[in-house]
Chain A
Amino acid sequence: MNIFPENVTTYAGEIDNLFWLIFTFVAIAFVISVIALIYPMIRYSNKNSPKAEYITGEKKKHFKWITIALVLLAMSDFVILVVEHGTWDKIEMNPPTDGVRVGITGIQWNWVFTYPGPDGKINTSDDIVINEMESELHVPVNTNVIMELRSRDVIHNVFLPNARLKQDVLPGRTNIRWVNFTKEGKYELICSQICGVLHSKMRNFIVVDSKEKYDAFMKDLYEKHNPKPKVDSPAKVATDSLQAKVPSADSTAKK
């Protein structure tokens, strides 16, 4: 039985592997510690050892055991840090910049999806905005999906269990995260930061389509919504009435 949800992205496996690496260290440390705790309880119980030894533990020959254990712990910590930093670097610090852009905006209590218009950019006047309960965000498979994450009211959290991704979304900021799905299907997009009464019902879906299906979907979408740059109206985009007033905090987003 797999203890994680199905892995459907390029980096989910890396996070699972990181878990198993840490688990290996933790399991060894656990077994050694349990033995070091249980053994003396039996060996030095009142019955087996009626007289205690006078050991203060300040002498080198006794304290060295603690030093050795701590050095081993520090070395395991170092290995974990190095490995996890590689994963962190890949996911959070050096995200890819090219790919399909989508906007995901949290509101109480729904995820609002934004597809770019013909200009390919989010947060411009030709965006197509879908604000329906239980709606689906369509993205292509095997493609970098660059997600611009925003919130219109309180803090929410974009949680994609199958991608092993969590990211808070905050009013006044745009956080950029990315994901690259390797398998078609319909996956949950959950809010994982308490956001009010109906937080428990804040769940939408991401649908990963093959490239052909995705192109067809986008064609349909453009026909249905007929997005045109509305030059006259000021930047009054449905997703971002709030953000428009606030300088965006991100540096990588819009070039």
Chain B
Amino acid sequence: MENGQHQQSFIQKYIFSTDHKVIGMQYAINGLLMAIAGGFLAYVFRYNLAFPGKDIPLFGQLSPMQYNTFITNHGMIMVFWVGMPLLLSSLGNFLIPTMVGTDDMAFPTLNMLSFWIFFVSSIVLLLAFFVPGGAYGGGWTMYPPLSANAYMNPNPDFFQALFSGASLMLLAVALEFVAMLMGGINFVVTTINKRAKGMTAFRIPLIVWFIDIASVIFMFAVGPLVAGAFMLLLDITVGTGFFDAARGGDPILWQHLFWFFGHPEVYVLLLPSLGVLGEILPVFSRKPLFAYKSIIYMALFSAVLSVVVWAHHQFVSGIDPRMATFFSIGTIIISIPFAGIFLAFMATLWGGSIKFTTPMLFALGFIGLFLVGGLTGLFLGSNAFDIYAHDSYFVVAHFHYTLFPDIFFGFFAAFYYWFPKFVGKDLDKTLGKIHFWLTTIFFNLTFFLLFFNGLAGEHRRINNYSFFGNVNKEPYTTFEKICTVGAILLILSQFVFVINLIKTLRSGKKAAKNPWNATTLEWVTDSPPKHGNFDTFPVVYRGPYEYSVPGCNEDYLPQNQEN
């Protein structure tokens, strides 16, 4: 078999590499660097909210325009340049070939191209901060007509308009979607065509299933948004009127195109993380994943539903009120399969023998925090209450309680779990646990009180709340300060992670082949796996979660073990 032992130059091996593990690493590094940018923006505007008008340490004065720019880009970066690369691309690249038991992706060159287009998209997004007029600051949803007229100069020529913050943001998003499409095609084709012998559909680990389902949802939903982005780009640069009511266009059209993608995108981000839980919970409970097949069916059901709930973001946009009822029903129904998946995860713990390792702590923390995020979604899915709660801090708290556990707890769980395999060194257990506890405590400190501010009528995207009577009073001003302190501490706690990483890379112990006694195929090969992954292609004899099988000597049966 092909072993890939031929000599490669440094550039071939680490920069323009076609090896899925190197590409996964590149995606992870790029995503984490963007997380630093997104976190810094959050620090600046959170500081400004607690102490409006004061000089911000490490930054200075924040103007209202900069405030808008920062909140917009914080959202954009965290969803598309942190969540997507860390969860979908990085995990997909590392795990799909190793878990289905093959040497690389189906299309390695396309895979390399995918990362480099993604890299360019990150540069384009950040470049917008340096063009005249600065990056776009009208909310990450880019609603026209505000976005269509977002240049500083009232009569720009084509190039001025093209190099405006709004255009660059649209271009960056479009490039990123091209990258993700290439990745998604690779994930699905690799899973279908390159599986090891014996790896039938219901022997594929949950995370591979979920990354593939997420990729399919993404590919299905992204078309309308790319079309919409192109139309909006034309509105900005050459002055067409697709979204301009005065010329027969319709600003609500953009909202439909955006949310037709934007809501499924939530599930694109959620499913890979749920897949991480599906791998980690059985390993550290020493018990099969509860109702593995039913979980997959529920995920497929919710994938179908996910594309018919988008207009719940538009209850107060002025769409026909009768339509809102339909979307409200859909939204509340979609809570059922996801509740089912989470219940199955919790049921996995019952009757197990639970080890509280760092990845397990992050996985359990994910479930606990997501519970708050998911349940508060019931308030917002009900359209009558949304008349009040829409665009309030209740919404901000709600989606941070879903997306933060999803992106960061999901990623950290995966990171602590698979790091020994793909880097080949053991992380420090104590530092890992400290990282978990600090992150959990300060996350709650940052976001929990915002629910109350939202109910008191605090609306989003305002740089100074002292102007508004209903929230410029105790306890809400104190809550703002507590949230800011929480956010700063939350960011500082991540240094524990950085220290752990540096310490491990410098002097970590070499990791064993299968440190967690797990069953799936990636644990069969060396840590780290060499180019080509396996010495001989493994053959699969059973499902992925055979733990504590009665009558077995060990408490786990690897997928490739022939009885």
Please say whether chains A and B are actual partners in one complex: yes
Q: Which A residues are closer than 8 A to B by beta carbons? A: 3-5, 15, 18-19, 22-23, 25-26, 29-30, 33-34, 36-37, 40-41, 44-46, 49-58, 62-63, 65-66, 69-70, 73-74, 77, 80-81, 84-85, 87-88, 91-93, 153-155, 157, 159, 161-162, 164-173, 175, 188, 190, 192-201, 203, 242, 245-246
- From B291, B457, B468, give the contact of A203 (CB < 8 A): B468
Interface membership of B231, Cβ < 8 A: no
Binds A, one of B30-38, B139-147, B514-522: B139-147
For A77, list chain B residues within 8 Å (CB). 332-333, 335-336, 378
Interface membership of B364, Cβ < 8 A: yes
Query: Do A66 and B291 touch (CB < 8 A)?
Result: yes
Q: List 20 A-B contacts (CB under 8 A).
A: A15-B388, A25-B378, A26-B376, A33-B371, A46-B356, A54-B549, A56-B288, A56-B290, A56-B292, A58-B293, A80-B382, A87-B384, A91-B384, A154-B143, A157-B316, A157-B391, A162-B470, A164-B388, A194-B146, A200-B463
For A58, list chain B residues within 8 Å (CB). 291-294
Query: Do B468 and A170 touch (CB < 8 A)?
Result: no
* Minimum Cβ distance to chain B for residue A39 (Å): 9
The docked-state distance in angstroms from the alpha carbon of A55 to that of B392 is 44
Given contacts A57-B288, A196-B138, contact A45 B356 (CB under 8 A): yes
B145-156: CB near A (< 8 Å → 1, else 0) gives: 110010000000
For B459, list chain A residues within 8 Å (CB). 159, 190, 192
Query: Do A44 and B336 touch (CB < 8 A)?
Result: no
Interface membership of B441, Cβ < 8 A: no
- From A23, A57, A165, A200, give the contact of B344 (CB < 8 A): A57
Q: Determine the interface band of chain B, counting residues with CB < 8 A from chain A.
A: 35 or more
Query: Do A57 and B347 touch (CB < 8 A)?
Result: yes
Q: Name A94's closest neighbour in chain B (CB-CB).
A: B321
For B390, list chain A residues within 8 Å (CB). 166, 192
Interface membership of B122, Cβ < 8 A: no
The docked-state distance in angstroms from the alpha carbon of A87 to that of B321 is 12
* Minimum Cβ distance to chain B for residue A5 (Å): 5
The docked-state distance in angstroms from the alpha carbon of A199 to that of B555 is 61
B526-545: CB near A (< 8 Å → 1, else 0) gives: 00000000000000000000
Query: Do A40 and B349 touch (CB < 8 A)?
Result: yes
Query: Do A66 and B324 touch (CB < 8 A)?
Result: no
Interface membership of B478, Cβ < 8 A: no
Query: Do B467 and A18 touch (CB < 8 A)?
Result: no
For B68, list chain A residues within 8 Å (CB). 194, 196-197, 199
Query: Do B316 and A33 touch (CB < 8 A)?
Result: no
Query: Do A4 and B456 touch (CB < 8 A)?
Result: yes
Query: Do B461 and A66 touch (CB < 8 A)?
Result: no
Query: Do A81 and B352 touch (CB < 8 A)?
Result: no
Interface membership of B350, Cβ < 8 A: yes
Query: Do A70 and B318 touch (CB < 8 A)?
Result: no
Binds A, one of B13-21, B246-254, B263-271: B246-254
Q: Name A205's closest neighbour in chain B (CB-CB).
A: B469
Given contacts A91-B384, A93-B321, A164-B387, contact A40 B245 (CB under 8 A): no
Q: A22-B385, A77-B378, A172-B250 are in contact. List 9 more A-B contacts (CB 8 A).
A: A40-B350, A49-B352, A55-B287, A77-B335, A92-B321, A92-B387, A157-B316, A165-B388, A170-B251
* Minimum Cβ distance to chain B for residue A52 (Å): 4
For A166, list chain B residues within 8 Å (CB). 316, 387-388, 390-391
Given contacts A33-B371, A66-B340, contact A167 B316 (CB under 8 A): yes
Query: Do A46 and B353 touch (CB < 8 A)?
Result: yes
The docked-state distance in angstroms from the alpha carbon of A49 to that of B383 is 46
Interface membership of B4, Cβ < 8 A: no
B324-335: CB near A (< 8 Å → 1, else 0) gives: 110011001101
The docked-state distance in angstroms from the alpha carbon of A167 to that of B371 is 29
B290-319: CB near A (< 8 Å → 1, else 0) gives: 111110000000000000000000001110
The docked-state distance in angstroms from the alpha carbon of A137 to that of B340 is 50
The docked-state distance in angstroms from the alpha carbon of A166 to that of B371 is 27
Interface membership of B462, Cβ < 8 A: yes
Query: Do A46 and B354 touch (CB < 8 A)?
Result: yes
Q: Name B245's closest neighbour in chain A (CB-CB).
A: A172
* Minimum Cβ distance to chain A for residue B429 (Å): 14
Given contacts A30-B375, A173-B318, contact A53 B382 (CB under 8 A): no
- From B325, B339, B367, B462, give the contact of A70 (CB < 8 A): B339
Interface membership of B452, Cβ < 8 A: yes
B541-559: CB near A (< 8 Å → 1, else 0) gives: 0000001111000010000
For B290, list chain A residues within 8 Å (CB). 55-57, 62
* Minimum Cβ distance to chain A for residue B218 (Å): 27
Interface membership of B368, Cβ < 8 A: yes
Query: Do B64 and A198 touch (CB < 8 A)?
Result: yes
Pairs A-B, 8 closest by C-beta atoms? A172-B245, A161-B457, A57-B290, A57-B291, A87-B384, A53-B351, A164-B388, A40-B349
Interface membership of B322, Cβ < 8 A: yes
Interface membership of B201, Cβ < 8 A: no
Q: Name A164's closest neighbour in chain B (CB-CB).
A: B388
Quick one: which of A36, A37, A245 has the most chain B CB within 10 A? Answer: A37
Query: Do B375 and A66 touch (CB < 8 A)?
Result: no
Q: Name B547's closest neighbour in chain A (CB-CB).
A: A52
The docked-state distance in angstroms from the alpha carbon of A80 to that of B322 is 17
Interface membership of B343, Cβ < 8 A: yes
For A56, list chain B residues within 8 Å (CB). 288, 290-292
- From A22, A70, A80, A93, give the contact of B336 (CB < 8 A): A70
Query: Do B65 and A197 touch (CB < 8 A)?
Result: yes
